[in-house]
A and B are shown apart, each in its own frame.
Chain A
Amino acid sequence: MISVKNITKKFGDLTVLRGVDCEIASGEKVAIIGPSGSGKSTLLRCMNLLETPTSGEVWLDDKLISDVDPYLHEEIVAVSATCARSVQAGVASEQAVDEIRKKRSLGKWEGSAYKNAIKEYAAEHGQNINLARRKMGMVFQHFNLFNNKTVIENLTLAPIDLKLKTKEEAEARAMELLNRIGLADKRDEYPSKLSGGQKQRVAIIRALAMDPDVLLFDEPTSALDPEMVGEVLDLMKELANEGMTMVIVTHEMGFAREVADRVLFMDEGHIKEEGSPEELFKNPKDERLKEFLSKVL
């Protein structure tokens, strides 16, 4: 469903992701764990392009949603001016392409054939990010409910504005979701009147109101008082059981163990180890993972 291909992310001089590959299959629940600052949130936010990867590509289903990364495509590198120069100097074409990809030596100006190749590739495979985001819900650590909108408006704004549903349809769906989490009586309240746990549950159903194919969670319980963590995790477990595809950055190891099909351990901008929760928690191989688990378990 989501493919992340060799992405890197730099913030100025700081390199946060150093070449990450990962695939999220339909129906899969993937937990991302790792120490603070290891790049978990950044990876998650690259999946829906809230952060633009510095290089690499992000695909949703069969559509490219990030920019084209020329280094991932031999046929594009092959028509670059740099490649043409190497070939003219007597290097075999294939070898020239390999070398450019290894050294990442494409320049700013690579000629119109190269430019067109990128454009054509994007036209053939690319999808507008706003369309892609409708299919990828995101739940934030700090909820980010719209402060100037009531609960029901929070739930219906996007479906109505994007003309996915009529006002009546959107409100009916919103009420169904509100009933499900037992907050139907809060429909006309502003978010400031809700508790943290209520806010996060509303944020989750706001994402669900778009009927997404996948939900991305960034530490959904980290900003909550301990007594409210349970209600949010319970809702997430329900969604997991219903077969929703979920990617969850979390510090809740118990939850990861119980719900995830696969756990990714991130450290220093790499996925250092991945596997089923049993493998990863019982038999960690990576030294940094062992150290991390000894601290958090």
Chain B
Amino acid sequence: MDFFKNIGILLTNSKYMGMLLEGLGKTLLISVFAALLGLLLGTLVAIVAIAKDSKAMKLPKWICKIYVTIIRGTPMALQLFIMAYAIFAIRGFPQEITAIIAFGINSGAYVSESIRAGILSVDIGQTEAGRALGLTNKTTMMKIVIPQAIKNVIPAIGNELIALIKETSIVSMIGMYDLTQAAKVIGAGNNMASYIVPMSVAACFYLAIVYLLTFGIKKLEARLRAGDKR
């Protein structure tokens, strides 16, 4: 069959493989840093969102609410365009950074909702018991509530990470050379002149990453739950 023969040709062609791996590298680079930024932002926003209502918290709470509403209410591609063509429309500004910021900000909005739900899912009695012993709010949060919340939140955060990795494929729309774009270039007429082969290989790369990630998260979850089966 031609298809498998062509796959063989691609996998042994160092030029094509170089292009694919370069694309893969960029996809991973954007994903990893956007995920870190998203986790950081998401945790911050979640902590603000669950803080007690008070005068000092009014503005931060309002900002967080607007942030989550706008990000979750508009398309990712549009957010990426706004970053690339409006906010960071500076000649020579590294596209990777534009993409990391755009995806990080996007992911933060979703992650914050998961983390907020995770913290709220911890029985209020846990907090009350900590406070009744004279522990500060911060200690109670750090030692009692957040460790329990993390367990509840890992599956949701994992799904968010997986969605993020796949979503980064739209960076080709601002002319970036990620895994998807690499496959497209390899498939073009001046190269292999067949899209199905490089696209299939790229698909396998994505699948492998997602599979590894899913596996890792399952392991982590099992380890965290090992102590206290409820």
Contact = CB atoms under 8 A, between A and B. Distances in A.
Say if A and B assemble together: yes
Contacts of B134: 130-134, 158, 162, 210
A105 to B, nearest CB: 24
Contacts of B5: none
B133 A158 contact: yes
B228 A148 contact: yes
Given A144-B125, A148-B148, A148-B228, 8 more contacts: A48-B132, A138-B128, A148-B144, A148-B147, A150-B227, A158-B130, A161-B135, A203-B129
Interface in A216-263: none
Interface in B106-127: 123, 125-126
Nearest to B144: A146
Given A147-B228, A148-B228, A192-B229, A142 B132 contact: no
Interface of B: 123, 125-126, 128-136, 139, 143-144, 147-148, 227-230
Contacts of A48: 132
B133 to A, nearest CB: 4
The 3 closest A-B pairs by CB, nearest first: A144-B129, A144-B125, A158-B133
A44 to B, nearest CB: 11
30 contacts: A50-B128, A50-B131, A130-B134, A133-B132, A133-B133, A134-B133, A137-B132, A138-B128, A140-B128, A140-B129, A144-B123, A144-B125, A144-B128, A145-B129, A146-B126, A147-B126, A147-B228, A147-B230, A148-B148, A148-B228, A157-B133, A157-B143, A158-B134, A190-B227, A191-B228, A192-B229, A192-B230, A203-B129, A206-B133, A210-B133
Contact of A146 (B130, B131, B136, B230): B130
Nearest to A50: B128
Contact of B135 (A142, A158, A191): A158
Nearest to A209: B133
A50 B144 contact: no
B131 A133 contact: yes
Interface string A109-134: 00000000000000000000011111
Contacts of B133: 133-134, 137, 157-158, 206-207, 210
A51 to B, nearest CB: 10
Nearest to A192: B230
Contacts of A162: 134-135
A190 B228 contact: yes
A43 B134 CA distance: 19
Contacts of B148: 147-148
B227 A146 contact: no
Nearest to B139: A161
B135 A146 contact: no
B144 A138 contact: no
B132 A50 contact: yes
Nearest to B135: A158
A136 B131 CA distance: 11
A50 B127 CA distance: 10
A278 B104 CA distance: 68
Nearest to B132: A138
Most buried by B among A138, A146, A190: A146
Contacts of A147: 126, 148, 228, 230
Contacts of A150: 227
A124 to B, nearest CB: 22
B130 A130 contact: no
A157 B147 CA distance: 14
A193 B188 CA distance: 62
Contacts of A137: 132-133
B127 to A, nearest CB: 9
Given A50-B132, A147-B228, A140 B144 contact: no
Nearest to A49: B131
A50 B124 CA distance: 11
A130 B228 contact: no
Nearest to B145: A148
Interface string A67-96: 000000000000000000000000000000
B227 A148 contact: yes
Contacts of A207: 133
Contacts of B227: 148, 150, 190
B129 A146 contact: yes
Nearest to B122: A147
A137 B131 CA distance: 10
A207 B134 CA distance: 11
A75 to B, nearest CB: 28
B16 to A, nearest CB: 50
Contacts of B139: 161
